[in-house]
Amino acid sequence: MYASASPVLSVRIVRPPKGEAPEWVREAWVGLVLPLKEARLQTLPICGVLSGPRSGLRMLWDSLTGASVTTTGYLAPAARAIEVLEASRPLAARWWRDHAPRFLREEAEFLFDAAACERLGSGG
């Protein structure tokens, strides 16, 4: 795992993040400032939001068998990120509700790849 030089409490999305969501949904994140769950970069195995596992046990299996991809980025609470998205791009937020509702749960997280993010300090 990589540690950032200073605490990062939020990120601005500066380019469409990697992922399985349609391009127009990924583009909708650009320009938004999202709160983070962790202030430092995380390197984690991830799977697709549509094709990926629905359970922690399956995620572990996929990481052991190579079905997941290791990505470095910032963890954001998914439900809160979708709320931010809803405020400016409601159709994109609706896509998440309709196609990947498990990300609306309080414990769900998004990992936004580092290249898509601009680190911001406590002032946002």
Residue-wise pLDDT for 57-116, tens only, equals 555 555 555 556 788 999 999 999 999 999 999 999 999 999 999 889 998 999 999 999
Q: Is 3 within a domain?
A: no
**23 belongs to a structural domain:** yes
Residue 4 lies in a domain: no
Domain of residue 82, residue span: 10-120
The domain total for the chain is 1
Per the listing, tokens 């439900």 go with 79
108 lies in a domain? yes
Q: Would you say 16 and 29 are in contact if contact means Cβ atoms under 8 Å apart?
A: yes
**∠ at Cα 27 (23, 28), nearest 5°?**
120
> What are the residue ranges of helices labelled H in 1-124?
23-28, 56-65, 78-88, 90-99
Tokens at residue 3, please?
A: 């540690």
Of the listed ranges 12-16, 39-43, 90-94, the one predicted with least confidence: 39-43
pTM, entire model? 0.78
In a domain, 37, yes or no: yes
pLDDT score, position 78? 95
Residue 99 placed within a domain: yes
Categorize the per-residue pLDDT at 122 as very low, low, confident or very high, splitting at 50, 70 and 90: low
